[in-house]
Amino acid sequence: MDKISNAVFGGERPLYASHNLIIDNVTIQAGESAIKECSNLEVAGCRFEGKYPLWCCSGTVVRDCHFTEGARAAIWYSQDMEMSGCKVIAPKMFREMDRLKLRDCYFTDSMETLWDCRTVDLEDCRFEEATYIFMRCSNVTARNIHVSGRYAFQYASNVEIHDSILDTKDSFWEARDVTIYDSTISGEYIGWYSRNLRLVRCHIAGTQPLCYAQGLILEDCTMEADADLAFEYSDVQATIRGNVTSIKNPRSGHIHADSYSQIILDSNIKAPGDCVID
């Protein structure tokens, strides 16, 4: 493989259609599409300052790089990418990606990051200011991630998450086939309109969680005191350790908890209205 080291590039497409190339300790200054339509790249120790630097690439390894605020929408329409040890300040990373692996990466502005991506594997990653993250993503596996923001995983499907902290309002709306293990999920209105959402040994916080859900399963979960008015109009099978502040009008299924502060079953309950609560 050819190698470019200790160089500075700027302007339009300086490394367009490069193949079989090592890019080491390079600075990409203001401009657009610096490394576009490329394949079989190793990118290490680089600094990205311009827009859209890595679009339409395949077979790319990105290590220990810094994406500044100017490198917005840095990586779209790419396949088979591994990224590790990177710091990303720019928003709107990753759109229409296939087979993306992230390890030990830190995103300080995750607005509209990871949209319409397929087969994503994450571990030891942190996402801050994460508004509308993981929108419509599918086949996602995550371990030890920390997401802080709003509207995470909306319309996502086939997701498996372990040992994570998800502090995000309106998360998992209309998500399908999601399983979360040993994690903390906090924020208002978690999991509304979801289908086949399964939570195993998770801690749930925030008002009105898990409403309007179909095929909802909780196994040995706990609920914070502010997780009130839970399960409204949901089809749910739940075992909950400790106290539940309040549940309201679950549609069907079975809920077992150690105790309840309030159970609300009123004239607004929807058929069949036969959830067993004990």
For the chain, domains (ranges, CATH) are 1-109 (2.160.20.10)
Nearest to 191 by CA among 250, 231, 237, 229: 231
| Alpha carbon separation from 79 to 66, 72, 100 (Å, rounded) | 20, 19, 7
Q: What is the pLDDT of residue 88?
A: 97
Question: Each residue's pLDDT tens digit in the chain (278 positions)?
Answer: 899 999 999 999 999 999 999 999 999 999 999 999 999 999 999 999 999 999 999 999 999 999 999 999 999 999 999 999 999 999 999 999 999 999 999 999 999 999 999 999 999 999 999 999 999 999 999 999 999 999 999 999 999 999 999 999 999 999 999 999 999 999 999 999 999 999 999 999 999 999 999 999 999 999 999 999 999 999 999 999 999 999 999 999 999 999 999 999 999 999 999 999 99
Residue 120's nearest CA partner among 81, 147, 176, 151 is 81
Q: Which amino acid is at 231?
A: F
Q: Tell me if 60 sits within 8 A of 38, measured CB to CB.
A: yes
What does the alpha-carbon distance between residue 34 and residue 259 come to, in Å, rounded to a whole number? Answer: 59
Identify any residues that bridge with 121 across adjacent strands, giving them in sequence order: 101, 141
Measured on CA atoms in the order 102, 97, 147, 105, is the torsion positive or negative?
Answer: positive
pLDDT for res 138: 98
C-beta of residue 107 within 8 angstroms of C-beta of residue 93? yes
- How many angstroms separate the CA atoms of 230 and 234, rounded? 9
Query: What's the pLDDT score for residue 1?
Result: 85
Q: Say how far apart CA 240 and CA 76 lie, in whole Å.
A: 41
Determine the residue type at 122: L
* H-helix segments, 149-260: none
114, 186, 205, 199: which is closest to 160 by C-alpha?
A: 199
Task: For residue 110, list its beta bridge partners.
Answer: none
Query: Residues for the chain: how many in total?
Result: 278
φ, ψ of residue 162 in degrees (nearest 5): -130, 145
Beta bridge pairs of residue 56: none
105: CB partners within 8 A, 6+ apart:
83, 84, 85, 86, 87, 88, 125, 126
